[in-house]
Amino acid sequence: MKILFAASEALPFIKVGGLGDVAGALPKALVQKGHDVRVVIPLYSSMKQQMRDQCQYMKHFYFNFGWRSSYCGVFTALVDGVTYYLIDNEQYFKRPAPYGEYDDAERFAFFSRAILEMLPYIDFKPDIIHANDWHTALVSVYLDTQYRLIEGYGNIKTVFSIHNIEFQGKYGMEILESVLGIYKGQASLLEHDGCINLMKGAIECSNAVTTVSRSYAEEILSPYFSFGLDSILRARQYKLSGIVNGIDTDLFDPATDVHIHTNYTANTPDNKRFNKRELQREMGLPERNDIPMIGMVTRLTPQKGVDLLEQVMDKLMECDIQLIVLGTGYPDYENFMRYCEYAHHDKVRSCIMFSSSLAQKIYAGADLFLMPSRSEPCGLAQMIALRYGTIPIVHAVGGLKDTVHPFEAGSGTGNGVTFQSFNAYDMLDAIYRSMTIWYDKDQLKTILRNGMTGDYSWNSSADEYIRIYESIL
């Protein structure tokens, strides 16, 4: 099969969240299974120069977008057997960051249309276009409403993946014609609750809809998890399925990771302690191996359950532990973490930044890894933690429920610690239970082996995507 994977970010070129990991790893896994998979992303000016230098100019063209003829450049690069196309337009993509601009609707409408306009100019005719999240949602809409009758477009099928339903691409109806170029007679495809909803349009028009875990596919059918789209998804449930994400096991491998101090495997787990010591030194924390270190690598937002940590921080600080938190987000949460470091300087470090190298050091150096998310479509951090022999403590929801299984001391099964209700004291109890496991060296040895030897690759998940692709052709 020939598959064009459309996303707003993809490793190794640019990453903001989990979508970047998926768009970098899933196409590679599909290529290894014999399929011709290409990836298309914007050519952002915020991309690291090292990656921009790998992009070679291919061609350019103009197409009508809104009231004007817009330039579209196409650059290309080959990474790990995957061909990448990068869409160039400085008006839309020469910005300080990929997202968060006042004209994001126009920027990604341009990107979605450019993907379709690009096809006659490249030596690749996809059987399937796989679009991801609201940024590329209009690909399916434009294809169905404006391109189907054009030669070369009629047989293309579409898959749309929901990575986080909280972000749907909601805008006022006034941009329908002037910005998006959608006729009023087709407004019903996008209209929901009195506004334009780009994700809703993709759900309506795509041949198949996927999301990133089996549990999340069930959860988003209910009002609590769906952020208003449950009625649409229930009506289109026949095309919805959930497939758990994998991680790039070549990139996230404690045996070869160049970012950590000492490499180790499931057969040499004792070497993990050297990474803890070096992390303590780097953070200026007391070098103690007799107490557990808790790590968090997260966005500091309500979705990630930071408010639970806020509620019980005083209780947690009564324990003989260390806590390192890496991430950025809401100013109130950032300031709270800064205060915690000030008030408990011998125990807490708040790293208010984005740093992939420090994240790797936390995965390798921490003993426990906290993910108290209110909702979590899939989550990748818990799988990375497992691979690095760091015990995940998670709210049993979405992909966390599908990948982290409660440890049972009697049977020696399970790979982590879970709590069922979104409650600060239930979370605190889970932390206490994880500490009990950590202090019991026999239990610790068993749970670490269970976690480190698990299969978190894209192999089986890629097979499930292939089955979906085949079902719609």
Distance CA 444, CA 269 (A): 10
Residue 205 in 3-state DSSP? helix
pLDDT (tens digit per residue) in 5-14: 999 999 999 9
List C-alpha distances in Å: 425 to 171, 241, 299, 393, 415: 38, 33, 21, 13, 22
pTM of the model: 0.92
Distance CA 14, CA 257 (A): 20
- Both tokens of residue 62? 């103009």
Cis peptide before 12 (omega within 30 of 0): yes
Q: Which amino acid is at 222?
A: S
Mean of all residue pLDDT scores within the chain: 96
DSSP percent split of the chain into helix, strand, coil, nearest 5: 40, 20, 35
pLDDT (tens digit per residue) in 411-456: 999 999 999 999 999 999 999 999 999 999 999 999 999 999 999 9
CA dihedral 305, 197, 103, 12 (to 10 degrees): 60
Distance CA 62, CA 176 (A): 22
Q: If we measure between CA atoms, which residue out of 146, 141, 136 comes closest to residue 64?
A: 146
pLDDT (tens digit per residue) in 205-236: 999 999 999 999 999 999 999 999 999 999 99
Domains plus CATH for the chain? Answer: 2-246+458-472 (3.40.50.2000), 269-452 (3.40.50.2000)
pLDDT in the model for residue 17: 84
Residue 66, pLDDT > 90, answer: no
